[in-house]
Amino acid sequence: MKIVIPGGTGQVGGVLRRALVARGDEVTVLSRRPERLEPGVRHVVWDGRTPGAWVAELDGADAVINLAGRSVSCRYTDANLRQMMSSRIDSTRAVGEAIASVGRTGRAPRVWLQMSTATIYADARSRGDDRSHDEATGIIGGEEPGVPLYWEYSVRIARRWEQAQAAADTPHTRRVALRAAMVMTPDKGGVFDYLSWMARLGLGGAVAGGEQYVSWIHGDDFVRAVCFLLERDDLGGPVNLAAPEPVPQRDLMRSLRRAWKRPVGLPATRFMAEIGALVLRTDTELLLKSRRVTPGRLIGAGFRFDYPAWDAAAADLVARHAHSRSGSGSSPRPSATSSARSTR
């Protein structure tokens, strides 16, 4: 297939573009700065906001996978929240306008996979229940009692992100919104690298009691799910990209410590989490919001996960992580900002 990936230079984009090239696809990445990527990957500059010369890359392409959007791993200041909103909405609108333009004069892509986020669903703990959220029964967040105002704003970002894709005039292109959970890969700088750093230092205990659910997906299953959705012409609209077994935060870190053979994990109160997030220049929503998201549509369509359970996924990721760093000493503390593209 000929596939164009706007925003394909982040961690998730790297995992995906390498896998697509390995299976024989012709891959073009769009990003704001000139970059030299892997052999077999073309790179084209775009501004992420307006149609330009890059629109020609979509003419005759089989698929567009838009991953563009500002990092979510930052302090949730007004300025950063506005940038999160504008980068997602502007890039999605630009892709939609480009597909519409190509459709009028040439051959539009037959499928547009648009990154979204599992954080669109309501915080489970604030609602006083432990129900899981799939695409059919999940409750969209933004009106939970007692949650911080900026949590509501992050849901608003997610909703407008999906609305921008739904509003595009692309009648000949199937559209899928990828409501992705945390994508776990062994790559340096990703969310798994960051969690592993905490576990290896003995800091990977329960945060604020640890009852909040963490939704996640192994990087291999993320790639397989994307390839599955590229091929399944009968699937459109929102699709949850999350493993079928989300786990409480305390259990997630316990399994990770076990995989790293670290018996101790110091717990943290909500206040301590606030201090840690401040030091790491990120926000506590990524630690405290309870996301219990399940992949109803993928499972219903016959997709099978290689890593449905966290214990096996953690063991595999730790083995790959350790192997990739063998002989190089222990890895330095990951940058919280650099892990952003894998967090949602």
pLDDT, one tens digit per residue, over 293-304 is: 999 999 999 999
- Check residue 293 and report its DSSP letter: B
pLDDT, one tens digit per residue, over 312-332 is: 999 999 999 988 776 544 444
Instruction: Map tokens 């229940």 to a residue.
Output: 129
Share of the chain above pLDDT 90, in %: 60
pLDDT, one tens digit per residue, over 149-187 is: 666 778 888 899 999 999 999 999 999 999 999 999 998
Looking at CATH, the fold of the domain delimited by 2-342 is given as Rossmann fold (3.40.50)
Angle formed by the axes of helices 310-324 and 249-260, to 10°?
40
User: Where is pLDDT greater, at 336 or 210?
Assistant: 210
| pLDDT value at 43 more than 70 | yes
| pLDDT value at 112 more than 80 | yes
- H helix intervals, the chain: 11-22, 78-105, 149-166, 191-200, 219-231, 249-260, 270-279, 285-288, 296-300, 310-324
Cβ atoms of 256 and 195 within 8 Å: the answer is yes
The closest alpha carbon to 51, from 174, 161, 157, 168, belongs to: 168
| pLDDT value at 255 more than 90 | yes
Cβ atoms of 51 and 29 within 8 Å: the answer is no
Distance CA 85, CA 128 (A): 29
Q: What is the DSSP string of 88-150?
A: HHHHHHHHHHHHHHHHHHS---SEEEEE--GGGBPPTGGGT----B-TTTPPB-S--TT--HH
Distance CA 213, CA 246 (A): 6
pLDDT, one tens digit per residue, over 77-101 is: 777 677 777 789 999 999 999 999 9
| pLDDT value at 208 more than 90 | no
pLDDT computed for residue 278 by the predictor: 60
Please give the model's pTM, rounded to 2 decimal places.
0.90
pLDDT computed for residue 84 by the predictor: 72
pLDDT computed for residue 338 by the predictor: 37
Cβ atoms of 24 and 231 within 8 Å: the answer is no
SS3 category, 229: helix
- Check residue 32 and report its DSSP letter: S
Question: Which range, of 34-48, 261-275, 286-300, averages the lowest pLDDT?
Answer: 261-275
